[in-house]
Structure 1
Amino acid sequence: MSLFRQLVAAFAAVVMSLAASADTLPFEPAAFDRAVAAGGPVVVQFHADWCPTCKAQAPVVAELLNEPKMKAVKLFVANFDTERELKRSLKVNQQSTFVVFKGGKEVTRSTGQTQRAAIEAVFAKAL
């Protein structure tokens, strides 16, 4: 199998694992704005298909969102390469970044984390 096909297959597996988790949504501005305004726990993940750190984060995030304590968290996955307005508004300069909201306000952010405990601690700030 060519490297391209392997990468496509790997990306498809990541997308499927994220789709199977609690409340993972592709970034859509209106839905994201509504979720943040509602004040619930929201995380936006800046993901890039070419990013090895993002690939390492994907199974950890999927696992975490399937835990009962994380059920309320809405995860919006934003394409780092195409969501330029969102990157500008949130001042995100690097892929593999999580921006966490609680009560309608940003409470924390993290870039480059791949360890389960570190990502869990970041997501827990939304609760």
Structure 2
Amino acid sequence: MKLTNRLIRLTALTAFSLLTSLAHALDIQPYTAAALGAAQQAGKPVAVHFHAEWCSTCKTQEKALNALKAEKGLDMTVLIANYDEEKELKKQYKVRSQSVLIVFKGEQEKARLAGDTDIEKIRTALQAGL
């Protein structure tokens, strides 16, 4: 009985730790105007990555972002915008090429990277929105 209770507590603690770490991790999801608007209205940190499927630089940036997903302290959302389809969004933020990452804190732009694949520079840009 003691072993069973101990296992239950250990399992609960592990689950809690996992949920806590996920709550403070980078969340990557497809761009929607509603998601960007909600984050900006709430004053939350959010980034938009203008990504094209045909872009090798974008794919390298995607790998870097995925590597940062589990990093503690990057409690923000990255919205992946389709560069070829989001014409109005590109116009609004004056994006003229794919592989652009724009980081916001609320509605204020805090960082912008264009074509950069260095994970440290991407991390630094994301941290600017926190």
Q: TM-score range by the shorter chain?
A: 0.7 to 0.9
RMSD: 1.2
Structure 1 residue runs of 5 or longer lacking an equivalent are 1-20
> What percentage of residue pairs aligned between the two structures are identical?
40
- Report the Cα distance in structure 2 between the residues aligned to 1:104 and 1:118, rounded to whole angstroms: 22
TM-score normalized by the length of structure 1: 0.79
Query: Following TM superposition, by how much is the alpha carbon of 1:22 offset from its aligned partner in structure 2, in angstroms?
Result: 3.8
1:114 aligns with 2:117: yes
1:74 aligns with 2:99: no
Stretches of 4+ moved more than 4 A in 1?
A: none
Structure 1 residues 57-86: Cα deviation after superposition (integer angstroms, max 9, x where no partner):
11110111220111x211100000000010
1:99 aligns with 2:102: yes
Counterpart in 1 of 2:6?
Answer: none
**Across the two proteins, how many residue pairs are aligned to each other?**
106
1:50 aligns with 2:41: no
Q: Which has the larger radius of gyration?
A: 2
The one-letter code matched in structure 1 to 2:38 is R
Query: Following TM superposition, by how much is the alpha carbon of 1:30 offset from its aligned partner in structure 2, in angstroms?
Result: 1.4
How do 1:2-81 and structure 2 match up within 5 A?
Answer: 22-70=26-74, 72-81=75-84
1:85 aligns with 2:103: no
TM-score normalized by the length of structure 2: 0.77
